Amino acid sequence: LVDNAASARSIILQEASNLNVPVGRSSIFLDNSESLGAMYEQMQEAAGLADRYGSIIVICPINSVAARAWTRYAKELQKSGITFVPLTDLVN
């Protein structure tokens, strides 16, 4: 389970913990952009957060721009030292 952190009043983390359900909280949401360049800038911001905190959960829209951005830039991010892992590795 992932809390998208859209509201400061979210109770998902607490309720999941009460039910012993593995949960994580997203650190960043990549906006629904029509611009490949804007999506790349957001991906770079996410990479910076991952470097700073060691790991983060990123949520992004499911659309053709996001798919093209990940296809185009994922290898570049990996070359910079970013490691992509399954979500299950980041929830507890």
Q: What is the mean pLDDT of residues 87-91?
A: 89
Q: Tens digits of per-residue pLDDT, 59-68?
A: 988 899 999 9
DSSP characters over 20-63: T---EE-SEE----S-HHHHHHHHHHHHHHHHHHS---EE---S
Q: Tens digits of per-residue pLDDT, 24-66?
A: 888 888 888 888 999 999 999 999 999 999 999 999 888 999 9
pTM of the entire predicted model:
0.80
